[in-house]
């Protein structure tokens, strides 16, 4: 199911990481995922029961081309 957030809300939401970039609906691999993805760092934040969980500890860290995560794991 795709994220269904009010367009005005999606415009003001931003990644809580230091770059504070805008978020877009879906994840890199699934545009219909219940998630929001940072347009700058690529972190993927879950949306649970229609509520964005914008906690860095809850975010998925994007994988780099070499197969490791961006946080070095």
Q: 8-19 pLDDT, tens per residue?
A: 988 999 999 998
**Contact call for residues 43 and 56 (beta carbons, < 8 A):** yes
Q: Pinpoint the alpha helices (H) of the chain.
A: 7-12
Rounded Cα distance between 18 and 68, Å, is 21
For the chain, which ranges sit under pLDDT 70? Answer: 1-2, 63-73
**What ranges do the domains of the chain cover?**
1-35
Q: What is residue 62's DSSP assignment?
A: P
- The pTM of the whole model exceeds 0.85: no
């Amino acid at each position: 199911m795709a994220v269904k957030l009010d367009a005005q809300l999606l415009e003001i939401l931003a990644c809580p990481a230091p770059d504070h970039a805008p978020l877009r609906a879906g994840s890199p691999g699934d545009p219909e995922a219940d998630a929001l993805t940072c347009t700058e760092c690529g972190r993927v934040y879950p949306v649970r029961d229609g509520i964005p969980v914008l906690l860095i500890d809850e975010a998925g860290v994007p994988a780099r081309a070499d197969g490791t995560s961006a946080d070095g794991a």
